[in-house]
């Protein structure tokens, strides 16, 4: 389907989402410093990420955040007042530059304390040019289009070897030659997707649901695709597929997609997958699928056979859980134990029905892959089993959680140790906070690129808590701690 709309990117000062979390940066194993700016307004991962990725000190990171906030406020005010004369804004150091199309607008910018740059085209005009260029170029060749406010032009990025054709098409569409730069990029953009049970994926125009994450991809229903068929969102290829007779398949996904040992509960969270021990008849089970979400029932029979129009499938799990088209391939769980993938049945989720599931272990064995389960990043020797107390939870990418709750725990003077065992392929961090002056202050942290972290801190008695932060990736974690 041809794209019919486009919104150009306006280059402006970057503003971070600030979550008040009571964080003051401090080095692991040392008491909180008092000679650095207060970072308590910012999320525990934010200042640490700026230190790591931008090479900034805590002081420089906080100063940059404050400067960006102030300049963003000025920019926002000017955008509203300048209207049609506005042509974009950007930050260089501690200076805000605002592009405008006439002298009177430039005077407004200077009066607001920013630097005015007079240009030929307004931002609205550039947005229109970007949309025309984006639509004119051959769709398969276009990587992106955006407004470069500093040069007052549009940049159209295309695949290697496509520059000439794209340039010709843009010119034929009547786009001014001096308004667009066509640039070849070595790599086309792609999505980064966490593979989670119950989520949708696509085979052409058809939709099915992920069963369970497995080594290098996921298992699903065989009737969703034949061997060699390709998928999107996430991108992958059916490497194993059996239907009828059985109803299982294994899809190998790209290296940019991360299989997560969890299932979407369609209530804003996920359910951990801890293993694949088969449940008995009568056991309570729940199913996740991209059409009807999360539904539960009981196992009515094992090793059942069913006849579909395409043929007979045997060895299935029969349940009274409802399902509908598009749920096919989705996850069936008994607690945290993977059971099978949605095959088919009768009825619907309005009146109820019978649904059959392909056992997951048969699919894993046929594909020669292993089930991806929660935890187990491998960076913490022995996991967290040696600690006195434990905690567990689940985070989405960029999320955070206080453990063992917002009230924390008490500790006497001496050494506190803590560890975190995060999901494989993620970057989870661990912070230790202490109540100081009525607010939570970070006194120690571990922020490597590993999913697993360990903290050792020697301090005075008081109330403490752990904060688990997902710098990147999502999934379930476990952890533990010991007090003096």
Average pLDDT rounded to a whole number, residues 427-454: 87
In the three-class reduction of DSSP (H, G, I as helix; E, B as strand; rest coil), residue 126 is classed as helix
Compute φ and ψ for 264, nearest 5 degrees.
-65, 125
* Interval 376-385: pLDDT, tens: 333 333 356 5
What is the CATH number assigned to the segment(s) 389-482? 2.60.120.380
Average pLDDT rounded to a whole number, residues 450-460: 86
* Domain residue spans of the chain: 12-119, 123-185, 194-367, 389-482
Structure tokens at 105: 């607008």
User: pLDDT at position 36, please?
Assistant: 42
CATH class (in words) of the domain with range 12-119: alpha beta
Do 12-119 and 123-185 fold alike per CATH?
A: yes
Least confident of 190-194, 427-431, 465-469: 190-194
* Interval 235-285: pLDDT, tens: 999 999 999 999 999 999 977 788 988 899 887 778 888 888 888 888 888
Residues with a catalytic annotation lie at: 223, 247, 328
Its pTM stands at 0.51
Q: Is residue 229 pLDDT above 50, yes or no?
A: yes
* Interval 53-86: pLDDT, tens: 778 888 888 888 888 878 888 888 888 888 899 9
User: pLDDT at position 364, please?
Assistant: 92
| H helix intervals, 83-185 | 103-111, 123-136, 163-172
Q: Is residue 110 pLDDT above 50, yes or no?
A: yes
Compute φ and ψ for 346, nearest 5 degrees.
-140, 165
* Interval 289-314: pLDDT, tens: 999 999 999 999 889 999 999 999 99
Identify whether the C-beta of residue 259 lies closer than 8 Å to the C-beta of residue 237: no
Residues 123-185, CATH architecture: 2-Layer Sandwich (3.30)
* Interval 39-60: pLDDT, tens: 666 655 567 767 777 788 888 8
Q: Give the number of C-alpha atoms closer than 13 A to the C-alpha of residue 36, restricted to the C-beta side.
A: 20
Q: Is residue 13 pLDDT above 60, yes or no?
A: no
**Model confidence band, residue 397 (pLDDT cutoffs 50, 70, 90):** confident
Which DSSP helix (H) or strand (E) runs through 44? Answer: helix 44-54
**Model confidence band, residue 32 (pLDDT cutoffs 50, 70, 90):** very low
- 10 Å CB burial of residue 140 (0-12, 13-18, 19+) is exposed
**Model confidence band, residue 137 (pLDDT cutoffs 50, 70, 90):** confident
Structure tokens at 142: 């276009």
Give the mean pLDDT of the chain: 83
User: pLDDT at position 337, please?
Assistant: 85
Q: What is the fold, at CATH topology level, of the domain defined by 194-367?
A: Thrombin, subunit H (2.40.10)
């Amino acid at each position: 389907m041809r794209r019919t709309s486009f919104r150009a990117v306006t280059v402006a000062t970057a503003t971070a989402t600030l979550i008040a979390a009571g964080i003051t940066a401090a080095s692991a194993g040392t008491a909180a410093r008092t000679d650095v700016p207060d970072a308590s307004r910012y999320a525990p991962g934010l200042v640490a990420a700026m230190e790591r990725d931008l090479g900034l000190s805590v002081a420089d990171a906080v100063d940059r955040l404050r400067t960006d906030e102030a300049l963003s406020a000025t920019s926002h005010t000017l955008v509203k007042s300048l209207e049609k004369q506005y042509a974009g804004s950007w930050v260089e150091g501690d200076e805000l530059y605002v592009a405008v199309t006439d002298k009177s607008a430039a005077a407004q910018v200077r009066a607001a304390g920013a630097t005015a740059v007079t240009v030929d085209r307004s931002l609205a005009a550039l947005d229109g040019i970007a949309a025309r260029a984006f639509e004119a170029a051959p769709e398969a060749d276009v990587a992106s289009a955006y407004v470069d406010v500093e040069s007052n032009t549009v940049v159209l990025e295309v695949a290697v070897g496509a520059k000439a054709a794209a340039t010709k098409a843009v010119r034929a569409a009547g786009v001014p030659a001096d308004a667009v730069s066509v640039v070849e990029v070595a790599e086309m953009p792609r999505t980064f997707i966490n593979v989670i049970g119950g989520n949708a994926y696509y085979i052409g125009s058809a939709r099915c649901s992920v069963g369970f994450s497995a080594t290098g991809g996921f298992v699903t229903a065989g009737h969703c695709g034949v061997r060699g068929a390709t998928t999107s969102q996430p991108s992958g290829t059916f490497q194993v597929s059996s239907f009828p007779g059985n109803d299982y398949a294994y899809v190998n996904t790209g290296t940019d997609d991360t299989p997560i040992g969890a299932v979407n509960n369609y209530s804003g969270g996920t359910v951990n997958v801890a293993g694949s021990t088969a449940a008995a008849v009568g056991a309570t089970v729940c199913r996740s699928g991209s059409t009807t979400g999360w539904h539960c029932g009981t196992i009515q029979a094992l090793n059942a056979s069913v006849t579909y129009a395409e043929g007979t499938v045997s060895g299935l799990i029969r349940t009274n859980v409802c399902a509908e088209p598009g749920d096919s391939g989705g996850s069936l769980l008994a607690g945290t134990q993977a059971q099978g993938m949605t095959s088919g049945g009768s009825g619907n989720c309005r009146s109820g029905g019978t649904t059959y599931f392909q056992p997951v272990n048969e699919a894993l064995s046929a594909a020669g892959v292993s089930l991806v389960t929660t935890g187990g990043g491998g960076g913490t020797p022995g996991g967290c089993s040696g600690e006195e107390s434990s905690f567990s939870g689940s985070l989405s990418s960029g999320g955070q959680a206080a453990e063992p709750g917002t009230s924390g725990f008490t500790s006497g003077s001496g050494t506190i140790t803590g560890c975190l065992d995060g999901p494989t392929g993620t970057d989870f961090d661990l912070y230790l906070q202490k109540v100081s002056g009525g607010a939570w202050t970070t006194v120690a942290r571990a922020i490597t690129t590993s999913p697993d972290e360990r903290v050792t801190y020697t301090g005075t008695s008081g109330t403490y808590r752990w904060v688990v932060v997902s710098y990147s990736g999502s999934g379930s974690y476990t952890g533990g701690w010991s007090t003096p």
